[in-house]
Amino acid sequence: MPQSAIAIRKVFSTDPATGKVLREFECASSEEVAAAVDHAQSAQKLWREVSFSERISVFRRFQTELHRRKDEVAAQISLEAGKPQVEALLTEVLVVLDAASFYIRYAKSFLRPERVPHGNPALKTKRGYLLREPQGVVGIISPWNYPFSIPSCDVLAALIMGNAVVLKPSELTPSAALLLRELFNTAGLPPDIFQVVIGDGLTGAALTTATIDKLIFTGSVPTGRRIATAAAERLLSIVLELGGKDPMLVLEDADLDIASSAAVWGAFMNAGQTCLSVERCYVHRKIHDRFVELCVEKTKRLRVGRGSDPESEIGPMINQQQLNIIESHVADALAHGARVLTGGKRLPELGPNFYAPTILVDVKHNVGSNVARILIEETFGPVLPIIPFDTEEEAIALANDSDFGLSASVWTRNRPRGEAIAAKIEAGTVMVNDVITCFGISEAPHGGVKSSGLGRTHGRSGLEEMVRTKYIDAELLPSIPKVWWFGYGSEFHLQMKGFLDLLFSKNWAHRARGAAKATGALFRKGRL
């Protein structure tokens, strides 16, 4: 077919505050994705041999360049994703700068050979250790809500371990990924080690079927399930971060002023478009009404507007599709008897995608019953449902009554009590007296359980995902034949039974007799 007859797919970078198209991109074809992976494979063979000090030098230059251009990067993120520029600085640029520091500081010790002790007395003449080697080419498919920090942290971890990376950013926010590539190019990263392929879902599908060695995907549960199925066919190693429905538990002894401010920030930061957002807030009945009053009062004070306005605190939804989901969740909650205390409507006077921060009450959540969608599906918008509970056990049951398990928080003046409750909540991370900021702790793992995904990013756990572990074992007495080699027989059988008695019998007399039997195996003849 002539090239002119082939329909060229395109994606559009759009300002969500105005709906204005900022830039259009041609989608990378499956052939172009395959070529990018091929180039990455060739480049990775050289990159893995680069000394660690040289990799660190690249990271230091990257960090310096990012810090120098921090305002430019934050402004671009704000324009394309809609969030206030100060949030772009704190939740995107700061997170990446700190992640770079963590890898510069920690990665070398992580890659040192790790001694493996041998507990079995029969194996004491061996010395073993672990080596960690790069996976090869890591494919990354990243989301639109944190278009810089999420892919950057994964790219940094992959590169420092000696991998090459092919990144497919969200079609809604490709510019942040291009800035990331530009920063690395300026830092002196060799060509083809880090590549960006822009496109739609077909481009992402092409990356998952290309000859990559690892895939990291952040996105929706349905897409994550499809990726997991495809990866299983070829035994491709994957990490999936698929969102959450994070609960906040406010106990009767919590500091109400602090906890209510945290709930408002945790639910509405980035206009609620955060996988770690507070999407369900359970409050002890004794303090419920006062807590609600504080949340409503603070929510009404929030300033909604364009991210470029330094006075704005809440930006727009990313697009109409996301806005429709929020509206449908609120409408369904109202049909289930909920009440809107503030918000609950679009703000068309501000632009096409704005929605007022919303507080809902009387949203009933009885474990196992038919409940409103806003308590079971990821809303991903500025809506905070507040539900009372009576006992600690009830609060834990409500928190765990979800298909998701990304993070949660517990609020109490009694920290040991909070930590004890945290241990009973089914989530990858539980914070006591804080929300969301766990993502910014570079040393801590990030990931969930249940439908929130598989594997971990960030911290040591994230680095483990970027390597293959090889065990090497060396015999210290290579000229001595092993006791357990061929030359079996009834006498050897009894000697080995004695050896097991020596090691594991709970009776000391049996151990002594076992030792006597086993000793003969050291001198037996007829070994091959």
Share above pLDDT 90 across residues of the chain, in percent, rounded to a whole number: 95
Task: With cut-offs at 50, 70 and 90, classify the pLDDT of residue 527.
Answer: confident
Length of the chain: 528
Give dist(CA 455, CA 465) in Å, integer.
Answer: 8
Q: What is the pLDDT of residues 247-290, one digit of tens each?
A: 999 999 999 999 999 999 999 999 999 999 999 999 999 999 99
Same structural domain, 132 and 233? yes
Q: Do 214 and 197 fall into the same domain?
A: yes
Check residue 370 and report its DSSP letter.
Answer: -
∠ CA 109-437-91, nearest 5°, is 90
Which residues have a Cβ under 8 Å from the Cβ of 121 and sit 6 or more positions away?
503
528 domain residue, yes or no: no
- Is 475 among the domain residues? no
Asked if residue 79 and residue 56 are part of one domain, the reply reads yes
Please list the residues that pair with 432 across neighbouring strands: 410
Residue 258 near residue 248, CB atoms below 8 Å: no
Does any domain span residue 448? no
Give 351-396 pLDDT, tens digit per residue.
Answer: 999 999 999 999 988 766 688 999 999 999 999 999 999 999 999 9
* 184 is a domain residue: yes
Crossing angle for the helix pair 490-504 and 508-519, nearest 10 degrees?
140
Identify the burial level of 18 via C-beta atoms within 10 angstroms of its C-beta, where 0-12 means exposed, 13-18 middle and 19 or more buried. middle
Within-domain flag for 449: no
The reported pLDDT for the residue numbered 3 is: 43
- Specify the CATH number for the domain of residue 345: 3.40.309.10
Alpha-carbon torsion angle 251, 256, 258, 260, nearest 10: 90
Tell me: do 465 and 386 sit in the same domain.
Answer: no
Task: List all residues 6 or more positions away from 414 whose beta carbon is below 8 Å from its beta carbon.
Answer: 251, 253
Closest CA to 182 of 328, 69, 317, 34: 69
Out of 114-123, 293-302, 386-395, which region has the weakest mean confidence (pLDDT)? 114-123
Show which of 451, 470, 489 is a domain's final residue. 470
Report the SS3 class of residue 89: helix
To the nearest whole number, what is the mean pLDDT of the chain? Answer: 96
**pLDDT of the residue at 135:** 98
Q: Which amino acid is at 209?
A: T
Q: Is 275 a catalytic residue?
A: yes
241 in active site: yes
Whole-model pTM: value is 0.95
Task: For 135-178, write each residue's pLDDT tens digit.
Answer: 999 999 999 999 999 999 999 999 999 999 999 999 999 999 99
Q: Are residues 260 and 227 in the same domain?
A: no
Residue 450 maps to a domain: no
**pLDDT > 60? residue 440:** yes
Share of the chain above pLDDT 70, in %: 98
Q: What is the pLDDT of residues 342-351, one digit of tens each?
A: 999 999 999 9
Both 417 and 516 in one domain: the answer is no
Which residues make Cβ contacts (< 8 Å) with residue 92, sequence separation at least 6?
Answer: 73, 74, 77, 146, 147, 148, 149, 176
Question: Is the residue at 379 inside a domain?
Answer: yes
Question: What's residue 525's pLDDT?
Answer: 83
Does a structural domain hold residue 344? yes
What integer is the mean pLDDT of 76-85? 98
Within this chain, do residues 127 and 30 fall inside the same structural domain, yes or no?
yes
Q: Could you give the number of structural domains in the chain?
A: 3
What is the rounded CA–CA span in Å between residue 338 and residue 331? 9
Average pLDDT over residues 413-422: 98
Nearest to 385 by CA among 282, 290, 315: 282
Residue 5 has pLDDT above 50, yes or no: no
Classify residue 91 as exposed, middle or buried by CB count within 10 Å of its CB (0-12, 13-18, 19+): buried
Going by their DSSP bridges, the two strands 453-454 and 194-196 should be labelled as: unpaired
Judge if 126 and 15 occupy the same domain.
Answer: yes
Strand ranges for 142-253 from DSSP E: 164-168, 194-196, 214-218, 237-241, 246-250
Residue 322's domain comprises 246-442
Q: Which token pair is 269?
A: 């930061």
Catalytic residue among 275, 281, 295, 438: 275
Shared domain check, 274 and 228: no
Is 372 found in the same domain as 348? yes
Neighbouring CB atoms inside 10 A of 444's CB total: 16
Residue 279: enclosing H or E segment and its boundaries?
Answer: strand 278-284
pLDDT given for residue 1 in this prediction: 41
CA–CA distance, 219 with 47 (Å, rounded to integer)? 29
Number of H helices, E strands in the chain: 17, 20
What is the DSSP annotation of 146-164?
STTHHHHHHHHHHHHTT-E
Active-site residue, selected from the candidate residues 80, 87, 92, 241: 241
Domain shared by 268 and 365, yes or no: yes
| Separation CA 40–CA 194 (nearest Å) | 7
185 and 291, same domain (yes or no): no
What CATH number has the domain bearing residue 119? 3.40.605.10
